């Protein structure tokens, strides 16, 4: 099914599937970031259970993001507002593409560190992830996983700030078209 640019301009809101993917993944990613950033403060006896849940949810996010990517590639999104300056169009696309790429990479980096760990971490306490313990590979995975978490956090901050800017300053429908139960 081919949709013309004119039809995209007429489409003012994301569909229910796109909104569901957005909000479910957003909630999971925020929980994972919070958990990852605060995990060192957990008592040692609680860390194994936490990391098993963290690894399991990481796999869930990876599957959801891949499904979301397939959905996104096969379903057009509403056009950017008419008259949006070129730099904002570029920033919007770069932020969205960056979030997609980095949120997909994050569980992959987590898998690199889990599969190379000297401990056999089990996702949700069920699925053993250790494949080939290797301290060097584990350190690389851990470093990439940590740096990527901070970059994702910065991009989420930028994304939220832009949405609020559109809503409260420009007073357009950019935020409303992604809100659940709202038709922009």
Percentage above 70 pLDDT, the chain: 94
Question: In which band, very low, low, confident or very high, does the pLDDT at 182 lie, cut at 50, 70 and 90?
Answer: confident
Q: CA angle 107-111-117, nearest 5°? A: 140
Distance CA 158, CA 98 (A): 11
Domains of the chain, earliest start first: 5-178 (1.20.950.20)
* Token pair belonging to 98: 């960056």
Quick check: 132 pLDDT over 60? yes
pLDDT in tens, 69-83: 999 999 989 998 889
For the stretch 11-44, pLDDT in tens is 678 999 999 999 999 999 999 999 999 999 999 9
Which tokens hold the place of 101? 């790429």
- Distance CA(184)–CA(177), nearest Å, equals 5
Whole-number pLDDT of residue 10: 47
Confidence band for 3, pLDDT divided at 50, 70 and 90:
low
Residue showing tokens 């809503």: 167
Token pair of 90, please? 């570029």
Residue 122: both structure tokens together? 């089990």
State the Cα–Cα distance between residues 74 and 157, nearest whole angstrom.
27
pLDDT of the residue at 4: 52
CA 179 to CA 17: how far, in whole Å?
A: 12
DSSP assignment letter at 123: E
Contact by Cβ (8 Å): 163, 149: no
Entry pTM: 0.92
- Distance from C-alpha of 103 to C-alpha of 65, rounded to nearest angstrom: 7
Q: Residue 127 is inside which H or E element, if any?
A: strand 127-128
């Amino acid at each position: 099914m081919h949709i013309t640019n004119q039809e995209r301009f007429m489409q003012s809101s994301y569909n229910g599937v796109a909104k569901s993917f957005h909000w479910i993944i957003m909630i999971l990613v925020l929980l994972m970031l919070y958990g990852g950033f605060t995990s060192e403060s957990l008592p040692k006896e609680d860390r194994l259970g936490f990391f098993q849940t963290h690894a399991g949810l990481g796999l869930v996010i990876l599957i959801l993001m891949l499904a979301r990517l397939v959905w996104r590639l096969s379903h057009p999104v509403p056009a950017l507002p008419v008259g949006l300056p070129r730099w904002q169009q570029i920033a919007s696309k770069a932020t969205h593409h960056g979030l997609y790429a980095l949120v997909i990479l994050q569980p992959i980096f987590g898998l690199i560190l889990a599969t190379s760990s000297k401990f056999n971490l089990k996702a949700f306490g069920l699925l053993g992830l250790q494949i080939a313990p290797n301290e060097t590979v584990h350190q690389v995975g851990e470093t990439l996983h940590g740096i990527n978490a901070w970059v994702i956090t910065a991009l989420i901050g930028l994304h939220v700030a832009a949405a609020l800017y559109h809503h409260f300053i420009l007073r357009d429908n950019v935020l409303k078209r992604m809100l659940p139960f709202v038709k922009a």
